[in-house]
């Protein structure tokens, strides 16, 4: 276990470097140069050359790239082209709201998804099962920039129950979290149903019942442990999707997180800030994949580490 964990963690470092390098070279695919953006159309040639030199744009591509990668790894993420603020600082300011939103929507997906999946599995083939599964497929297919306004319309405008957006309070977090977690809870429900259906056909289920355990105990301790393997892996795998959807959800609810920051940076073509955001999102994505792999081994006794290590 230790060897596997260490090796898996070490393997992510080269990946991080490559990702940073890829993000660093992203601005070279862009038409136009940042110099035009900062100075506008009426700058003199001398000013342009001066600025190019100070930004390091006159050097070769590889030189610039290696400077960028080294800088990022040492904590120097550049400064925003428009505000002149340090990129790392503004990222730090915006990262907590995004984390809160993402975690609460994951929680929301599990709280809604798992019971629905279990309930549907126990009523497999009946009309209730069909309705629940149809509903969860509907949730999966519902774009969240539609779900968001819909929830606002119903709960804030018509019923007047919840505030549209109120950062910092629990009530204000409900609508954004449900919007973000909606499609994930559909996915979790379908996944849970599938794995519970498979589990209750297996020998360990019959054995546990036969030795006299109550039905609910078997369900909670045996079947759900089995199902949790799939739920953990699906939530981990969907984390990337969740982050991306967070960009849109934040835009809808005016949530002061990374998504809003990135969207603003994109529309102002503030390259260093965009790069910073993409790096942070990718890092958390890589980290989440790592965690998923490690937790997976922990939860599923059947994953044979001997196989993986050799």
Partner 1 sequence: MILKYWKRIVVQHNFWFGSLLIGMIVTLALVGGAFFPYSPEVTLSRRLGYPEWSHPFGFDLYGRDLLSGCALGAQVSLYIALSTVFISLSVGTCWGCIAGYTGGIIDNMMMRIVDIFMAFPSFLLTLAIASLLGPNLHNVILAIAATGWTSFARVARGEVLAVRRLLYVEASRSIGASHLRLITVHLLPAILAPLLITATFSISGVMIVEASLSFLGLASADHLPTWGRLLSQGRAYIYDAPHLSFIPGILIMFGVLGFNFLGDALRDSVFNSGK
111 lines the binding site for partner 1 (CB under 8 A): no
Tell me which of 1, 9, 30, 92 binds partner 1, using CB under 8 A. 30
Closer residue to partner 1 in complex, CB, 140/213? 140
Regarding 35 and contact with partner 1 (CB under 8 A), the answer is: no
Place of tokens 């030199």: 53
Q: Alpha-carbon distance 294 to 303, whole Å?
A: 11
Which three-class secondary structure state does DSSP give residue 24?
helix
Measure the CA angle with vertex 6, ends 5 and 9; round to 5°: 85
- Closest CA relative to residue 274, chosen from 30, 13, 32: 30
Closest approach, Cβ 29 to partner 1, in A, equals 7
Among 97, 274, 276, 293, binds partner 1 (CB under 8 A): 274
Burial 232-258 (b: 16+ CB within 10 A, else e): bbbbbebbbebbebbbbbbbbbebbbb
User: CA triplet 73, 48, 266: central angle to 5 degrees?
Assistant: 50
Q: Residues 153-182: x/- map of binding to partner 1 (CB under 8 A)?
A: x---x-------------------------
Provide, rounded to whole angstroms, the least separation between the CB of residue 210 and partner 1. 25
**In the numeric block, which tokens belong to residue 146?**
């539609």
Task: Tell me: does residue 115 bind partner 1 (CB under 8 A).
Answer: no
In the list 31, 75, 212, 301, the residue contacting partner 1 (rule: CB under 8 A) is: 31
Give the integer Cα–Cα distance in Å for 298 and 126: 35
Q: Which residues bind partner 1 (CB under 8 A)?
A: 15, 18-19, 22, 26-27, 29-31, 137-138, 140-143, 145-146, 149-150, 152-153, 157, 240-241, 243-245, 247-248, 251-252, 262-263, 266-267, 269, 271, 274, 277-278, 281-282, 285-286, 289
């Amino acid at each position: 276990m230790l060897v596997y964990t260490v090796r898996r963690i070490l393997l992510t470092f080269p990946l991080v470097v490559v990702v940073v390098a890829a993000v660093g070279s992203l601005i070279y695919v862009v038409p136009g140069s940042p110099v035009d953006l900062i100075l506008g159309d009426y700058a003199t040639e001398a000013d342009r050359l001066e600025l190019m030199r100070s930004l390091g744009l006159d050097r070769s591509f590889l030189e610039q790239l290696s400077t960028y990668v080294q800088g990022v790894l040492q904590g120097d993420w550049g400064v925003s082209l428009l505000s002149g603020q340090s990129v790392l600082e503004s990222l730090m300011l915006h990262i907590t709201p995004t984390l809160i939103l993402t975690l609460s929507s994951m929680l929301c997906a599990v709280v809604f998804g798992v019971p629905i999946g279990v309930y549907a599995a126990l009523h497999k083939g009946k009309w209730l099962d069909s309705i629940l599964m149809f509903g969860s497929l509907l949730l999966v297919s519902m774009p969240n920039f539609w779900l968001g306004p819909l929830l606002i319309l119903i709960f804030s405008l018509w019923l007047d129950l919840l505030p549209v957006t109120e950062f910092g309070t629990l009530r204000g977090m409900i609508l954004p979290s449900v919007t973000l977690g909606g499609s994930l809870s559909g996915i979790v429900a379908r996944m849970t149903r599938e794995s519970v259906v498979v589990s209750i056909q297996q020998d360990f289920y019959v054995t546990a019942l036969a030795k006299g355990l109550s039905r609910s105990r078997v369900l909670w301790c045996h079947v759900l442990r089995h199902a949790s393997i799939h739920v953990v892996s699906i939530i981990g795998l969907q984390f990337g999707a969740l982050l991306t959807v967070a960009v849109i959800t934040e835009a809808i609810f005016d949530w002061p997180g990374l998504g809003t920051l990135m969207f603003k940076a994109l529309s102002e073509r503030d390259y260093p800030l965009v790069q910073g955001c993409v790096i942070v999102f990718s890092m958390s994505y890589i980290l989440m994949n790592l965690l998923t792999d490690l937790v997976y081994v922990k939860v599923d006794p059947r994953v044979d580490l001997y196989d993986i290590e050799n």
